[in-house]
Amino acid sequence: MTATTNSIRIIHNMNRISRNLAAFITHAMKGHAKTTYRELSVERCNIFDLMANYMGFTVLHPGGLKATKRLAESCRIDQRMRVLDIACGKGNASVYLAKQYGCSVVGIDTSEDFIAQAATRARRNELEGVVGFHVADALDMPFSDDEFDVAITQSLLVWVSDEKRAIQEALRVTKRGGYVGWLELTWKKQPTAELLETASSLISPYHQLKARTVEGWESLFMFAGVKQLEIITPSMKFKNIGETIADEGLVNTAKVLFRYLTNHAVRKRINAMEKFLDESAEYLGFGIYIGNK
């Protein structure tokens, strides 16, 4: 079960909230810029596009910011460090790290739109000069060798075309002896062919097929050159409303709920995925993988 799984459950729970929130939600939506969606429809898009673009979630990786905290602490991040956030998305984790640990952060992503949103988030949090964002490819990063104290990625490897190269690029830009950490979708046990087929049609054909078991990820990290690998497999707990607001903020939580309540296609897709994820809970999970250069 992933953070997006949690998000689906959150939405389902939100639907039970009294409709007296409607006035507040509508007010929160006023003046909100229209989201630029991908070409695929709600019915055909992958879960990332559904959550990021159609729903407007900003924290998309498994476990949310609680998992980011676990990853950061395992990488021993503190105020002396310069941290690279690879595939930073809309910048929530980068901003969180800077505020929580006092470190400087550089975030990269291939999406120009996400980087623009991330830069805006840093400005709103008065972190200009502490957190910076760049459009860049995780497979060919524009940084020197040994440039960062720590490099982290959250939900990247299931998307890239060459996982080994992405791992080795993260190692390349990290100082010798520094920590590198990954948070990735992980099968608790080997899925059946039927489960994979259903997951591919309902969630995402690409990242479901590229997810690995714990043993599979361990083998890949060791083969790519990661040293002293530590593996954490956190238990999955559904977020409550307070935790959702902590990740997304009150206003964005309201916006997400508004989109769910007013878009029949989104509700239908969410309900179908929720049913599938409930039935396959014994298979789906995530892992945190930490090592040294």
Residue 271: per-residue pLDDT = 84
pLDDT band at 180 (very low <50, low <70, confident <90, very high): very high
Extract the tokens encoding 33: 């810029």
Residue 238 pLDDT more than 60? Answer: no
The b/e string for 187-226 (b: 16+ C-beta within 10 A; e otherwise) is: bbeebeeebbebbeebbbeebbebbbbbeebbebbeebeb
pLDDT band at 8 (very low <50, low <70, confident <90, very high): very low
Evaluate whether 150 touches 84 at the Cβ level (below 8 Å): yes
Residue 42: per-residue pLDDT = 81
Tally DSSP H helices, then E strands, for the chain: 13, 8
Residue 164: count of CB within 10 angstroms of its CB = 14
Q: What is the pLDDT of residues 13-49, one digit of tens each?
A: 444 433 333 333 333 333 333 333 345 688 777 777 8
Q: What is the pLDDT of residues 112-145, one digit of tens each?
A: 999 999 999 999 999 999 999 999 999 999 999 9
Whole-prediction pTM: 0.78
CA distance 272 to 260: 14
Q: What is the mean pLDDT of residues 254-279?
A: 86
Residue 191: per-residue pLDDT = 87
CA distance 141 to 171: 11
SS3 for 239? coil
Domains with residue ranges and CATH for the chain: 3-58+240-279 (no CATH), 64-235+285-292 (3.40.50.150)
Which residue type is seen at 143? F
Extract the tokens encoding 124: 């709103």
Residue 19: per-residue pLDDT = 35
SS3 for 291? strand
What lies within 8 Å, CB to CB, of 30 at 6+ separation is none
DSSP 88-150: -TTSHHHHHHHHHH--EEEEEES-HHHHHHHHHHHHHTT-TTTEEEEE-BTTB-S--TT-EEE
CA distance 49 to 41: 10
Residue 16 or residue 244, greater confidence: 244
pLDDT band at 257 (very low <50, low <70, confident <90, very high): confident
